[in-house]
Amino acid sequence: MARPVTDGWLLARALRTPGNTLALDPAGWAALIATARAEQMIGTLAYRLEGLRVPQAVARLLADARASAAQGRVVALWEAEAARRAMAPIGVPVVLLKGTAFVAADLKAGQGRSIGDLDILVPRDRIDAVEAALISAGWEWVKPDPYDDDYYRRWMHELPPLIHRERDRMIDVHHTILPLTARITPDAAGLLAWSVEVEPGVRILSRNDMLVHAAAHLFADGDLAGGMRNLWDVYCLVDQFGTNGLAERAAHHGLGREVARALRLSAALYGQGARLNPADHLYLRRLTARDGWGRATRPFTRLGFYVRSHWLRMPPAMLVRHLWTKWRGGHRGDIV
């Protein structure tokens, strides 16, 4: 197999300094676009490059990507509105998380962002009422097997996934931002208390809490898949709001180290650079593991991160039991 000609740094450099892309040859453009698509960042790239005198074929592709992102925004905001209507009767406001929050508040981080499911945060003591309200408004379970369901309810930071019967869109209802079995337990009530209204019934996290959430989501909640996009969110939030009070708020949630690392990595990828420690370099290597076709590379690094992320979420004894039961259930291993 041919050695990778390029990796995620091609995308990072293009986002950091859009003008540099004018030096790309056709093969370079093909690699950049493939990588951006693989990282779910083609819309972001398209907005960053808007107005540049790129080759016509590229200009058309990027225009398509912007149109696609704009339509995605419409759909995402409608899902938020549908959730608001469903929860209004029980007096629980919708607190938006991630991409939908960014576009609802017209943040830089939302420009061109691809948005998947609707993610919302609700108080833990209202979660049963929220579940009932959503189901009566037309959402239904994406049927997991009974063990997964039980595991979800007892330990995870969210309800099992719900999908809307007619619109066919998923909603993820969180009551905190990390699984309950993780060693780190953020202040969920604090997230809600400090949330900010966008319009009546629709809220987002405070600016510092959004940053803390992005860092938590990236490092503790996953195996770094989608990391480049996550760090772009961090970069945009810092660029727009600064970091006043961020360190204290992060420490309050027990995520001081993770937020500091997120700031270093996002600065290294998209900003003016940063002083990186050896672990940071390993993270960057994992985050940028793409080739000119957008394929994930560096399998051993990735495997290491997958095991690590599960260890963070569950104590080792539970981890073994969980994976064993999933294996017996005939699930294929989730190794990326």
Partner 1 sequence: MRHVFSVRIGPIGFRIGSDWRAPIAQMESLYTDYPGPHDGVPDFNVRLFAARPWRRVIRPSVMIGGDFVLPEAAPLPLAQGLLAAEMGMNLQMALGQRRYLLLHASVVERDGRALVMTGMSGAGKSTLAALLGTRGWRLMGDEFALLDPATGLIHAFPRLISLKNAAIGVAEAAVPDGVFGPLLPGTPKGDIRHLVPNAAAIAGMDRAADPALILFPRFGFEAAERYVAPSEVFVRLTQASTNYVAMGERGFDALTRLVTTVPARAIDYPDTDRALAQVEALWRDL
Partner 2 sequence: MARAESLRIVHLDSFTAVYHRSSGITHLITAPAPEILATLGEAGMTFAALTERLATDYDLGDLDADALAARLDELVASGLVSAA
Candidate ranges 24-32, 71-79, 114-122, 263-271; the one touching partner 2 (CB under 8 A) = 71-79
The rounded distance, in Å, linking the Cα atoms of 299 and 305 is: 10
Q: Does 141 bind partner 2 (CB under 8 A)?
A: no
What are the residues whose beta carbons fall under 8 Å from the beta carbon of 308, sequence distance 6 or more?
223
Residue 295 binds partner 1, judged by CB under 8 A: yes
- The helix/strand/coil state of 163 is strand
Q: Taking Cα atoms as reference points, which of 141, 193, 149 lies closest to residue 170?
A: 141
Q: Is 149 in the site for partner 2 (CB under 8 A)?
A: no
Nearer to partner 1, 143 or 321 (CB): 143
Candidates 9, 29, 155, 241: give the one binding partner 1 (CB under 8 A).
Answer: 29
Question: By C-alpha distance, which of 77, 176, 90 is closest to 132?
Answer: 90
C-alpha closest to that of 336 among 258, 188, 227: 227
Give the contacts of 165 (CB within 8 A, at least 6 positions apart): 138, 139, 140
| Per-residue x/- track, 158-197, partner 1 (CB under 8 A) | ----------------------------------------
The mark string for 73-102 relative to partner 2 (x by CB under 8 A, - otherwise) is: -xx-xx--x---------------------
To partner 2, the closest distance from the beta carbon of 74 in angstroms equals 5
Query: 329 contacts which partner out of partner 1, partner 2, none, CB within 5 to 8 A by kind?
Result: none
| Using rule CB under 8 A, residue 71 touches partner 2 | yes
Nearer to partner 2, 125 or 168 (CB): 168
Q: Which amino acid is at 103?
A: V
Q: Does 17 bind partner 2 (CB under 8 A)?
A: no
Minimum distance from residue 173 beta carbon to partner 2 (Å): 21
189 binds, among partner 1, partner 2, none (CB under 5 to 8 A by kind): none
Of the chain, the end-to-end C-alpha distance in Å amounts to 19
118 near partner 1 (CB under 8 A)? no
Quote the CA–CA distance of 187 and 212 in Å, as a whole number.
11
Q: With binding defined as CB under 8 A, does residue 334 bind partner 1?
A: no
**Which does residue 167 touch among partner 1, partner 2, none (CB within 5 to 8 A, set by kind)?**
partner 2
Nearer residue to partner 2 within complex by CB, 81 or 149: 81
Q: What does the DSSP assignment read for 264-320?
A: HHHHHHHSS-----HHHHHHHHHHT-B-TTS-B--HHHHHHHHHHHHHHHS-HHHHH
How far apart are alpha carbons 84 and 104 in whole angstroms?
Answer: 13
CA–CA gap between residue 225 and residue 283 (Å, rounded): 11
At 94, list the tokens.
Answer: 């919708």
Rg (CA), the chain: 20
Residue 67 within binding range of partner 1, rule CB under 8 A: yes
Handedness of CA 149, 152, 154, 158 (dihedral sign): negative
Q: Which does 254 bind (CB under 5 to 8 A by kind): partner 2, partner 1, none?
A: none
Residue 57 touches which member of partner 2, partner 1, none, C-beta under 5-8 Å by kind = partner 1
Binding site for partner 2 (CB under 8 A): 71, 74-75, 77-78, 81, 167
Binding site for partner 1 (CB under 8 A): 1-2, 25-27, 29-30, 33-34, 37-38, 55-58, 60-61, 63-65, 67-68, 70-71, 74, 293-295
